[in-house]
Structure 1
Amino acid sequence: MTTKHIEQKLMLLPDLPGSYQMKDKNGKIIYVGKAKNLKNRVRSYFKSDHTGKTAQLVENIADFDFIVTSSEKESLLLEITLIQKYQPYYNIRLKRGTGYPYIKITNERDPQILLANEVTKDGAHYFGPYPNVYAAQETLHFLQKVYPLRRCNGYQGRPCLYANIGQCLGACYKEVPESEYAEQIKKIKRFLDGDTKEVRKMLQKKMATAAADMAYERAADLRDQIKFIEATVEKQQIISRDGTPRDIFNFYMDRGWLSVQVFFIRQSRLLKREKRLFAIIDSPEEELAQFILQFYNRRNSVLPKEILVPKGVDTQSIAAVLNIPVRTPQRGEKRSLLELAGKNAKIVLDEKFRLLAMNESKTTGAMQEIADALDIEKINVIEAFDHSHLQGADMVSAMVVFEDGVPNKNKYRKYKTKGVLHADERAETMEVIRRRYTRLLKEHGALPDLILMDGGVIQLNAAKEVIEDELGLSIPVAAMVKNEKHKTADLLKEEGADHVHLDPNSQGFYLLQRIQDEVHRFVITFHRQLHSKSSLGSRLDEIAGVGPKTRQKLLSNFGSMNKMAQASISDLQKLGISEKVANNIKISLAATQHHDD
């Protein structure tokens, strides 16, 4: 039976080409497929009756993922690559090798050009794979005629048949100079890398001549040959042509959340994709730069030869730390791959928001599932807390409220802690909980049915100490325990107690994840706003003639340095600022922006 989670994801699939990956309950990829239209193809698994191995596959699907490509052909090539990498249990046709041929130039004294079923580490040059097998065969025959290498078994003291008709350089009866092979191989590589202009021009001329001579069959053969060449050497975004191992990073930001896509290009193919979603404090470009540095530091893996990033990211700083080139492509294949990564990043974040919206409208029973798990009779109102700080300083907190499974944003609260100077989880939690519920008691406000802390044992114990010991309240308190991916996995009621598990496919589990995401987003957004204003305010304090009142006017009217820097002298004077001070502001902000750039 299809789970609610899969039902919701099916509704969000795009009408675009791509590759899809079916996963089992352990997150292991068990099948990889391709689609001209992802929505129609993936839905067909769950909306149609199946028999045999397909029915077994569907029974074992617990989740799925997908990567959008730019064409159906690219989705096929990506499918091939992912099957080779993950060796999914239910893929049979492409499990060994690719099922599609490569064109291979052998690594030997008298090299040959031939078809191969898979790539091996034999020093040969490989091109492909080519989904159109017949076109690849015809193109190979064409290359053997136009750029011959060796087509015989080697020296035999006399010319072979192919040498007699000009399709073998003659290793069968003479010693062929290595330079002659090298020149032919250079032409073949250029042709298979897409430089077919000269050859196509020659074929088109022959085709026109044959048509003029009324040799229509010959003209048709030449026309087909041109089509086979186009089908074989057509450039693909999924297959890089220069063979450079590179990683591609791009992002999409919305509503305080950053979606990052990482494409790993290896052996001229998109070998792997990783995706990340997280709330951010700084600008998306700054966050991406930090993410890249932490990404490689945490993975402790072999670095690529090149990293590609979007415009605005500090390429020099990343390159200096990692000691590899970091570039922003302006055009061509690399630019297209970067844009494709950005497109996938947007799709992932859009899917998250749409899933949240769908789950908010389907909360029947979710609150009760949480109540049952925690042995609480009934839950109508949940208040959740989270903290944020910047390298141990500027500690802030926030609270979100969910009523009957739906967020009530009118009741959200932000807290700038007063008595906590540095990142002290216990002190921060105690102050915020004390302020929140002392005020509710004083104002005779309604108390929640459950308090959730987005942290571990320290925050749980601190909150319970204030609620139970200081205020004498009996509100249940639990901590949302995260897994290694920083996502809510369980609940914790008491230090040392067993974790309270919820079914990962239940509405109660999804509600917990929504609460965690929402409180984290809210506190991070608040922190980002304070950090931005504080940073801008400190810069304004350094400008001659700008006092507290002028500073406040500027912050209230413009809000950001970019808007302030774009304002004219007259715009600044309208706020009651003298021309001299306005000039100082313009000069100082221009210099600051130039330094930042």
Structure 2
Amino acid sequence: MTSPHPDELLNAVAALPALPGVYRFFDAHGLLLYVGKARDLKRRVSNYFSRSHDGTRIGHMVSKIARLETTVVRSEAEALLLENNLIKTQQPRFNILFRDDKSYPYLRLSASTWVPAPTAGSGEGVSPPDPGHYPRMSYYRGAVDKRHQYFGPYPNAWAVKETIQLLQKVFRLRTCEDTVFSHRTRPCLLYQIKRCSGPCVGFIAPADYAADVRSASAFLRGETQSVLDELERRMMAHAERLAFEQAAEVRNQITALSKVLHQQAMESTTDQDVDILAVRVQGGRACVNLAMVRGGRHLGDRPYFPAHVEEGAVLAAWDDAAAAAPSEAPGAVEPSRSVEQRVLEAFMAQHYTGVPPPPVLVLGAPVDAHLIELLTAQSGIRLHTVFHPREHRRTWLDMAQKNAELQLARLLAEEGSQQARTRALAQALDLPDDALDRLRIECFDISHTAGESTVASCVVFEGHKMQNAQYRRYRIDGITPGDDYAAMRQVLQRRYGKLAQALRDDDGTAQPAQARLPDIVLIDGGKGQVGVAREVFEALGLDVGRIVGVEKGEGRKVGLEELVFADGREKIYLGADSAALMLVAQIRDEAHRFAITGMRAQRAKVRTGGSRLEDIPGVGPKKRARLLQRFGGVRGVAAASVEDLATVEGISAELAETIYRALH
């Protein structure tokens, strides 16, 4: 039997080593189809090409394979890390794919530069307080700096901010930036309402503040009883010295902490850091609900909705079966795990290769013990999984499962509604409704402030939803300020110029994935903007029938918009309650939001001289980072005096003068 695959591919498979690694399958257009890992690359990959897979989803994927790439690694744990990094960044068509959250929010306690001295007094002195002696707590996303303390991750920003408010009530740590701290001459409102101890004006000694920081840190780690014991010792020590005012302050801290603990209704004093994962699959969609317990406190949960659920589950099941029993026929090995288990395993592999796992995982479905071993080896944290929990863990899992059901039901309802809107718009525009999943709409909008910092946005709607990863912004230059027509002409030429050339080169017979024209080009504007778009499309040799303008109705009232066409068709009014108009408004509003946020960022950069700091001779990346960190941003650097600038590590008096002159 002749193989449908090219000889180069089969020869590459035959030459694979029997070593651990990651393999990647590509189609003829270079599109990544599937990423997998293997303990033995040669045996695993050969399984795909040594048997017939006709009439199956495996066969559908295998028939598309035109090219193979592999990477050999030292261990299967390294293969797991590489596999899931590739899945998150490359988004292959046949893997269960979870959206890659770039970062999770943390609570950060900055490092302290204060060192106890034998002659230290009560904290009063002639020099102003140093912000480095009083660590700041703040909400944080991004790379971790080992000098500081980080607590989390938290499921959302709200959980971090609620924890900060809690710590303000009990431990009264500062949240102000260093630049604000350094320029205070009297306490702020937070001191007045007893949410800060006033370190900026010397109302608390560094030693006492450091004790509060230690207590807050212990509380965040779940060591609540030790915190209470330490506070009681401090209160008694103050009382023995007849410092009754200080003793009363500590007593108030104990009362506030006890009240907080009562309000939190902590179910456990033994479970400090736990993740609870529930999974639900329905209607071809899935939801994994992740609930987080940190320091013994239930911080909330977050839902995740994977793509390619059915295809990915089938591929993963066959992949594992073929690896376990390579000599058996594909149909002879029944999947050993359900779709829910496959989805949960995919989530754990992708999530915990980017975020350190807690030591305890409470799971809504059993997972392969081999995966837990690999995650343990990769993270260096010994993981304990619980599938049938009891007591408080059972309550946690029941809550997570209920939330997964509710979130999945909401998603299915929204997708059903969105599909109805897509169908209604296709019918209104006389488009075929047999391929609505591939209907692609690109919408453009222009934003500026009195001609300043003009930015154009392009947002993409495809597959019944907004495709955020495909959004683009265009900085508009070389036009008369405020000329929206010229801005629209420039963005359309830049967006479709190369695409039109690529289509001409292919004679219209082939369109690679990146060279596909949208079915609808939506313009936020009336006849004038549509006329400009028509001129651009005619010059590029593109179909002007794709252009649709959204014209404001009488009095510019919402719901009275009309659609204007570039090919001469009469404009149409969809109706205020039309599902098609709802979709048009959704896409147009998203384009407007994306444009205006880009314009504001560009305007802020221009007005604050965001690039001027980079242009100063002698200020490299490290010095620039130190300046921005010390003064909280470019504006803070510009507001600082020469003497303040010279206090930054690596900034000499001469360089401080140069920076000051450049920013003024």
Fold match by TM threshold 0.5: no
TM-score normalized by the length of structure 1: 0.34
TM-score normalized by the length of structure 2: 0.31
